[in-house]
Amino acid sequence: MPPSAIRSVAVFCGSRFGHDPVYADAAAALGKGLAKVGIRLVYGGGGVGLMGIVADAALAAGGEVLGVIPEFLQRREVAHAGVGTLVVTGTMHDRKRRMFDAADAFVTMPGGLGTFDETIEITTWRQLGLHDKPILVCDIAGWAQPYLAAIQAAVDQGFAGPECLRLYEVLPDVDAVLARLAAVTSPGAGQPERV
Ligand code: AMP
């Protein structure tokens, strides 16, 4: 199999830990797994919740980490002092843009409203043809089911076409995510100037 075309992955995940410890375990496994295969982690730059866990695990395993945090959130999300590169943006929109530009693919891990927002936005950008980068939703312990059900409901109600269900892939665990990333041989091009 040719080598993976994925060099850099943006991970969207919670700034909290969630109640079930399996979420933290999965976040650590993802950070470590990305580092082991030499994929750079791009994330929101915070040191809190699952975000901090992914970054710490990647760094501990010798991985490259790029954090992107807006100025006003540096204190609330405890900007991670240890990441290789920390980009401080003026706005949330700049953060999203920088993360988009820096990533060959996107992985969503368990999280809250911010995670939903980031995932749905990158998915709608793909729906609009603004990019063709893989979007992987990691459904740890069924975490993503209500999110996925909302999209399915939009299709069932006639507000989205069934092709929307192919804009993203749902993987059951971190091993499946890493295997999928390894199998991507030609990442879709981003066209950020149209975003
Ligand atoms: P949460 O899933 O709510 O814990 O948030 C996860 C990350 O998403 C945090 O870094 C938040 O700052 C970020 N976030 C929250 N709202 C937004 C938004 N509207 N756009 C981009 N990122 C956001």
Q: Give the model's pLDDT for residue 194.
A: 43
Q: Residue 24 — φ and ψ, nearest 5°?
A: -65, -40
H-assigned helices in the chain = 21-36, 49-60, 92-102, 113-127, 145-156, 174-183
Distance 15 CA to ligand 1 centre (A): 8
Q: Which atom of ligand 1 is nearest to the CA of 76?
A: 12
Q: Which of 6-15, 51-60, 72-81, 157-166 has the lowest mean pLDDT?
A: 72-81
* Distance from Cα 4 to the centre of ligand 1, integer Å: 29
Q: Does the pLDDT value for residue 127 go beyond 50? A: yes
Q: In the CATH scheme, what is the code of domain 8-182?
A: 3.40.50.450
- What is the 167 CA–ligand 1 centroid distance (Å)? 21
Q: In the chain, where are the structural domains located?
A: 8-182
For residues 167, 169, 170, 174, the Cα torsion angle rounded to the nearest 10 degrees is: -140
- For residue 120, what are its two tokens? 């749905």
Q: Which residue has the higher pLDDT, 77 or 186?
A: 77
Under 8 Å CB-to-CB from 21, ≥6 apart: which residues?
Answer: none
Residue 173: pLDDT band by 50, 70, 90 thresholds?
A: very high
pLDDT band at 185 (very low <50, low <70, confident <90, very high): confident
Whether pLDDT at 4 is above 50: yes
